[in-house]
Amino acid sequence: MGKKQSFTEKLILLFADFLDIFRQPVTLHSFYRWLDNDPRYRPFRTWLEKYFQKRKKQNLYSTIYRLKKNGYLKIKITKQGRGYLLTPKGEKRVLKNKVKEIKKRKDPNNYWLMVIFDIPEKRKRDRDLFRFCLYNLGFQKLQQSIWVSPYDVYKELKNIVKKLNFTKEVKFLKVKEIGKF
């Protein structure tokens, strides 16, 4: 099991889930209504209520303010009120947190997933994030831009490549064995 998530991490992941589902800015009213109505997220509503029993509700607003101040959220005015959207920086933070939670399973056919990439220097930060994702998905480095993994994480990796817009820079191969010389 991974490290316990902070309130900030849980909140930004919930915001990301809301945005993925509804494709509209998160207002606090719609956010609470969604947590109540969607049975998959009721445990999070319970968690929030327990959190507010121990701490003041102001912590929620302070956390949102910090996320906005640090460039992870931006405000968009909607008919329902002030809504929040993730910035590109916020989306990358969410991606990092989601990658840490991915459950890895060995490939049933004992294939290795090989990733070959050539990402330009001008996208160094995104390349570093991609390497972070590879490492957390159980990949090992053969060379600087060639990584291999015995785990069946093709779908997850494909989504990461799409999110980072690396479809032209990254190639995947499934190989039966990695030879040693």
- Domain ranges within the chain, ordered by starting residue: 7-97, 102-175
Q: Which residue has the tokens 């209504």?
A: 33
Structure confidence at residue 148 (pLDDT): 93
Number of other CB atoms surrounding residue 127 within 10 Å = 19
pTM of the model: 0.75
In CATH terms, the fold of domain 7-97 is Arc Repressor Mutant, subunit A (1.10.10)
Structure confidence at residue 17 (pLDDT): 81
- Report the Cα 55 to chain-centroid distance in Å: 27
Number of other CB atoms surrounding residue 27 within 10 Å = 18
Cβ contacts of 143 within 8 Å, gap of 6 or more: none
102-175 has which CATH code?
A: 3.30.70.240
Whether 7-97 and 102-175 share one fold: the answer is no
Report the chain's mean pLDDT, rounded to a whole number. 84
Give the CA count within 13 Å in the CB-facing half-sphere of 90: 26
Percent of the chain scoring above 90 in pLDDT: 34
Structure confidence at residue 180 (pLDDT): 67
The pLDDT tens digits along the chain (181 residues) read 456 778 788 888 888 888 887 777 877 777 777 777 777 776 777 777 777 767 766 777 788 888 889 999 888 887 767 788 889 999 898 888 888 888 889 988 889 999 999 999 999 999 999 999 999 999 999 888 999 999 999 999 999 999 898 989 999 999 887 766 4
Number of other CB atoms surrounding residue 161 within 10 Å = 20
Q: What is the dihedral of CA 172, 173, 178, 181, to 10 degrees?
A: -80
